[in-house]
Amino acid sequence: MLNHIELHTGETREIIIYNESNVDWHIVQEKGSVLRLHVLCLSQSNTADEQWKTSIVVEQNGKGCRTELYGMGLLHGMQQAHIHTKVMHNVGGGYSSQLFKFVLDDQAKGSFRGELKIMPDAQQTEAYQTNRNILLSRQADMLTEPQLEIYADDVKASHGATTGQLDDSALFYMQQRCIDRETATKLLLCAFFDDVIKTIADNQLQETIIEEINQIL
Amino acid sequence: MLEIKNLHASIAGKEILKGLNLTIHEGEVHAIMGPNGAGKSTLSNVLTGHPAYTITEGEVIFRGKNLLEMSPEVRAREGMFLSFQYPVEIPGVSMVNFMRTAVNEKRQYEGKTPLSASDFLKLMREKKALVGMDNRLTKRSVNEGFSGGEKKRNEIFQMAMLEPCLSILDETDSGLDIDALRIVAEGVNTLKTPHTASIVITHYQRLLDYIVPDFVHVLADGKIVRTGGKELALELEKSGYAFLNS
């Protein structure tokens, strides 16, 4: 299924994509519009059918647009989440940021392919992309593919991707403060997703997601 | 309160503690000094249960129980506290959330009811005042963006919150100027009771001007080789550890 959306001049829109499978989005932004989009993949149920695939393509067609893409995946059992993003700066003066975080346990699999394309006319663009992943088990698998194509020369762009385990020294510090390893792990994982969750405008939804994270953990 | 008998411990196959013996009673302050590499930090890591270390021989009895069988969090709940030499930063975990979880875990272990949100905030205010902790620091994530001195102050604040019976201060004075050192020492002294004990691990005599020890031990080559009163620290400051080679 393809969702085609246009953000008109100066329009601000927030889009929440919560546990949707096989949904593609193509969003076109006109001058001065602001897009804030969250992809959330988390579910307590454990069936192998839990596979989320999303593709999000955003085109900045007008000057001075702002695009903020956030995503989180908390996967366990045999769940899978595959996220593809493509942000295209066709015109200049725009800002985009992508922040995607995954935590995978058991045999879960995930992938993040983050495309960023800054066209030759898109001078004075600022574009950032960050993907952070934590693997909690040896069989969990995460594929991360940042893909940047920058054709303009007056731009600020950066990308970063890291995949690792929880910070052992932070875990030990918390254990030394009476907190058992399991509870400490929950605290650290909630902290990990903090900056993705806190950017959701709807406080009610924020609380629901935090509650859901705690339940899964 | 604490009895260490013939403790041998190693890390990555290398033996660091080679038969360490130490006994600590309620109300006592024990200073541990010694050359670098002697095993001072190993001792604090082994006592608190750091997983990187292996105990190859010996036993440790804490409050009548076998310490080495306990997980790090149980040792903490039994009343052991370590003021870390290098406190780690934990972005995203707020000081309030962290401390409330810690305090309530200890209370649960002791059979007490957890503190309500308002009672907990009251406790925090009380302890902040007691150790002179800056208000802004407790609103942040654990140790995030704290200076070296602020991190050490935060360790003492956490100690005030958890009220341990045995506190291990691992090089608490490193990285502190004289004012910060005085303030940290004041905090430690304020928390002292006839039923608590402290192990103060330090390189320098000056901390011991403020936290006055009952015993000073020299830890060298994995063992305690000399024990004296507080004058021993002054002697070491003057003459160094050359006596070890004779």
Distance separating alpha carbons of residues B142 and B88, to the nearest angstrom: 8
A167 touching B, CB under 8 A?
A: yes
The pLDDT value recorded for residue B199 is 95
User: Is residue A177 domain-resident?
Assistant: no
A191 touching B, CB under 8 A?
A: yes
Print the domain residue range for A65: 2-166
DSSP state of B200: E
Output the tens digit of pLDDT for each of chain B's 246 residues.
999 999 999 999 999 999 999 999 999 999 999 988 888 889 999 999 999 999 999 999 999 999 999 999 999 999 999 999 899 999 889 999 999 999 999 999 999 999 999 999 999 999 988 888 888 877 889 999 888 888 888 999 999 999 999 999 998 877 788 877 887 888 889 999 999 999 999 888 888 989 999 999 999 999 999 999 989 988 888 888 877 776
User: Is residue A181 domain-resident?
Assistant: no
- Answer yes or no: do B88 and A170 touch at CB < 8 A: yes
CB atoms within 10 A of CB B168: 25
ipTM: 0.94
Closest residue, chain B, to A168 (C-alpha): B51
Min Cα separation A192/chain B (Å): 7
CATH number at residue B164: 3.40.50.300
Residue stretches of chain A with pLDDT short of 50? none
Closest by CA position to B68, among listed B85, B53, B89, B88:
B53
Strand ranges for chain B from DSSP E: 2-11, 14-24, 29-33, 53-62, 65-66, 80-83, 90-94, 141-142, 166-170, 197-201, 215-220, 223-228
- Answer yes or no: do A191 and B93 touch at CB < 8 A: yes
Backbone angles phi, psi at B131, to 5 degrees: -105, 10
- Answer yes or no: do A183 and B93 touch at CB < 8 A: no
Print the domain residue range for B158: 2-245
Closest residue, chain A, to B46 (C-alpha): A176
User: Is residue A174 domain-resident?
Assistant: no
User: Is residue A179 domain-resident?
Assistant: no
Q: Is B233 helix (H, G, I), strand (E, B) or coil?
A: helix
Closest by CA position to B175, among listed B98, B55, B64, B83:
B83
User: Is residue A217 domain-resident?
Assistant: no
A145 touching B, CB under 8 A?
A: no
- Answer yes or no: do A187 and B97 touch at CB < 8 A: yes
The pLDDT value recorded for residue A50 is 77
User: Is residue A29 domain-resident?
Assistant: yes
When divided into structural domains, chain A yields a total of 1
DSSP state of B205: T
Report chain B residues whose CB lies below 8 A from the CB of A168. 51
Q: Which amino acid is at A62?
A: G
User: Is residue A59 domain-resident?
Assistant: yes
Q: The dihedral of CA A11, A12, A18, A21: what is its sign?
A: positive
User: Is residue A204 domain-resident?
Assistant: no
B110 touching A, CB under 8 A?
A: no
The label of the residue with tokens 């889009």 reads: A15
When divided into structural domains, chain B yields a total of 1
Q: Are A162 and A130 in contact (CB under 8 A)?
A: no
Give the Cα-Cα-Cα angle B237, B242, B246 (nearest 5 degrees): 145
Distance separating alpha carbons of residues B73 and B182, to the nearest angstrom: 30
Closest residue, chain B, to A175 (C-alpha): B73
The pLDDT value recorded for residue B244 is 74
The pLDDT value recorded for residue B182 is 83
